[in-house]
Amino acid sequence: MNCPHAAAARAAEADRSAGAITIDPMVQDLDGETARLREAGVLARIELLGVPAWTVTRHAEARQLLVDQRLVKDIEAWELWRTGVVTRAWPLIGMIDAGRSMFTVDGAEHRRLRTKTSQALTPRRLEAIRPAIEKFTDELLDNLEAARDANGVVDLKAVFAQPLPMKVVGMLMGVDEAQHPMLTRQYKAFFSMLTPQEERLKLLADLDVFYTDLVREKTAHPTDDLTSALILAEEGGEPLTEEEVVGNLKAMVAAGHETTIGLILNAVRALLAHPDQLAKVLAGEVGWDAVVEETLRWDTPTTHLLMRFATEDITVGDTVIRKGEGVVISYRAIGRDTGQHGEDADAFDITRPTRNRHMTFGHGPHICPGAALSRVEAGIALPALFGRFPGLRLAIPDAEITKLPVMTQNDMAAFPVLLG
> By the criterion CB under 6 A, which residues form the site for ligand STR?
94-95, 98, 103, 250-251, 254-255, 258-259, 302, 305, 409
Nearer to ligand STR, 144 or 251 (CB): 251
Question: Residue 325: exposed, middle, or buried by beta-carbon count in 10 A (0-12, 13-18, 19+)?
Answer: buried
CB crowding 328-353: b at 16 or more within 10 Å, else e: bbbbbbbbbbeebbeeebeebbbebe
371-388 helix and 130-146 helix, angle to the nearest 10 degrees: 40
Residues 6+ apart with CB under 8 A from 155: 147, 414, 415, 416, 417
C-alpha neighbours within 13 Å on the C-beta side of residue 140: 26
Whole-number minimum distance, CB 298 to ligand STR, in Å? 17
Whole-number minimum distance, CB 232 to ligand STR, in Å? 22
Nearer to ligand STR, 301 or 416 (CB): 301
Question: Residue 310: exposed, middle, or buried by beta-carbon count in 10 A (0-12, 13-18, 19+)?
Answer: buried
Nearer to ligand STR, 218 or 250 (CB): 250
Nearer to ligand STR, 230 or 394 (CB): 230
Whole-number minimum distance, CB 207 to ligand STR, in Å? 6
242-273 helix and 163-173 helix, angle to the nearest 10 degrees: 150
Whole-number minimum distance, CB 302 to ligand STR, in Å? 4
Task: Tell me if 274 sits within 8 A of 348, measured CB to CB.
Answer: yes
Instruction: Render 95-125 in DSSP notation, one character per residue.
Output: GT---SSTTT--HHHHHHHHHHHHHHTSHHH
| Dihedral, 41, 255, 102, 175 alpha carbons, nearest 10 | 180
Whole-number minimum distance, CB 120 to ligand STR, in Å? 16
Nearer to ligand STR, 79 or 208 (CB): 208
Task: Tell me if 28 sits within 8 A of 4, measured CB to CB.
Answer: no
Whole-number minimum distance, CB 209 to ligand STR, in Å? 13
Whole-number minimum distance, CB 211 to ligand STR, in Å? 8
Whole-number minimum distance, CB 75 to ligand STR, in Å? 12
Nearer to ligand STR, 259 or 277 (CB): 259
Type of residue numbered 112: R
Nearer to ligand STR, 200 or 336 (CB): 200
180-191 helix and 242-273 helix, angle to the nearest 10 degrees: 80
Nearer to ligand STR, 48 or 251 (CB): 251
Task: Tell me if 88 sits within 8 A of 201, measured CB to CB.
Answer: yes
